[in-house]
Amino acid sequence: MYTLSGIMGLTKTNQLRSLLHPSSIIYLNALDLCILAVSFGSASFHAMPCFFTQLLDEFPMVVLAQLYVAALLNAKDHLMRSDGERGNHSSNLTIYVITVNALITLTALCVYIVYEAFEIFVHLFTLLITIVVVVAGMVVRQGHREVGRGKMSKVVIEAAPSLYMSVLLILLGRMFWEFERSIYTSQTCPYSAFSPSFWLHPLWHTASAAAHMKFVDFCRHISIHATPPAQSTVGSSGSKLERVKVEPQSAINDRAYVRSRLSQ
């Protein structure tokens, strides 16, 4: 499922690249490449269980959580600049959040590697996903608070259902995972595929992969409507430069097509 979600995400971003800011393309592709790395690490750990392959499984998950925050804040910055609001403050906040997030992660990972305590990773990943949800929730809340004041409000509110679905799916996946862990610790693991609990781990993978796809859809939807940077051109009087927003006609047509599809 992780492989499928990664390939589908890369394909979709490539199809819509004419509508996306170059930095948004980098972040969105990085998210889907990272979920492919999670797929490889998970397969390695299930095939050859050891601490090294466990790190191959878990390290990409931690990086992915960092990228979720970075991609979301990057898209939000573009929208805020397109509305002409708080561009510098927002960029500084983005750098601050990402830096603090990375320092917490590096510290926890070092402790985890030294002591090989799986619970440290569990708490770290839970914290990182909570930060992702909080940041996304702040973006949606700001969109609702600024109704009618600019592009950000309309775009964020349109994209919000994808975020809500992503949160529900990851909570559902976490419920499957916790139930599976309780069976494992009680040493009552099923051996038959006919037992419902046998499928708890595949259900965790399916739900988390689907949550990833919906979250990337949320970021992509915001990024699609982030206006490209203004470009300079000579004014009609020819005496000075004026700031105007230039957009290729093909991109305008593609944007109208995407909006019509999203409204259906």
Annotated binding site for Zn(2+), which residues? Answer: 46, 201, 205
**What is the rounded CA–CA span in Å between residue 57 and residue 87?**
37
Which value, to the nearest 10 degrees, does the dihedral of the CA atoms of residues 158, 34, 4, 127 take?
A: -60
The first and second tokens of residue 216, run together, are 């990337």
Q: Residue 146 contacts by C-beta under 8 Å, 6 or more apart in sequence?
A: 152, 153
Q: How far is CA 179 from the centre of its chain?
A: 26
The contacts of residue 253 (CB under 8 Å, 6+ apart) are: none
Residue positions forming the annotated binding site? 46, 201, 205
